[in-house]
Amino acid sequence: MRLLFTRPPGLHGRGRAGGFTLLEALVVLALLGILVAMAAPAMTDLRARHQLQAQAEGLLDSLVLARSEALRRQQRVSLCARATDASCDAHGQWHQGWLVFVDTNNNALRDEGEVVIDVHAPLPTVLQLGVTNTVKAYFSYGAEGRSMSTNGAFMAGTWRFCRASSSVGWQVVSNALGMPRIEKYTPQDCP
């Protein structure tokens, strides 16, 4: 079987070559530029919201890691506000990042010889992190995986991540058993 292809009427002989004229290409580029300019603010906002959520998820991951390491090692593992990559900030400046470490002497401060499990970098300067007084400087898990203070009492706390220009924040909440969760919240005041 043989198929024959023919040209549509009017295209016999010399015809216009395929492609775009310079004017057509410039119009398409101008329209594309307008669409990109309209999408840029929305993309910036999306990136900012994602950055905020990612930092909150980073703290959640550190809490889960600390709890699992306490269970695995059968000894206290603590998180503390980070002063340096090897020391805690007693004033609880959590926006400087945090450490996860094996707290062999149960004092909630990283001392010489205590194993550092994880170091979280400082938050970007546009983000704020507020904490409840119960977790001002540290949060610990005992050998059985429950949260506990240095005197053995249970611990519960909330870390609130916000951005001044955003109406939505993220908070990480740990209950009395030490089970952390993450949730959205509406910031009342974000410095």
What CATH number does residue 169 fall under?
3.55.40.10
**In the chain, how many H helices and how many E strands?**
1, 9
Checking if the pLDDT of 54 tops 60, the result is yes
In a domain, 16, yes or no: no
Q: Supply the pTM of this predicted model.
A: 0.77
Rounded Cα–Cα distance for residues 140 and 155 (Å): 8
Domain assignment of residue 81, given as a range: 39-185
Neighbours of 66 (CB within 10 A): 29
In the structure encoding, which two tokens stand for residue 135, read together? Answer: 């977790």
CA distances from 132 to 40, 105, 171 (A): 36, 24, 11
Select the more confidently predicted residue: 156 or 2. Answer: 156
**Residue of 37 and 155 predicted with greater confidence:** 155
What's the pLDDT tens digit per position in 128-147? 999 988 888 899 999 999 99
Number of domains in the chain: 1
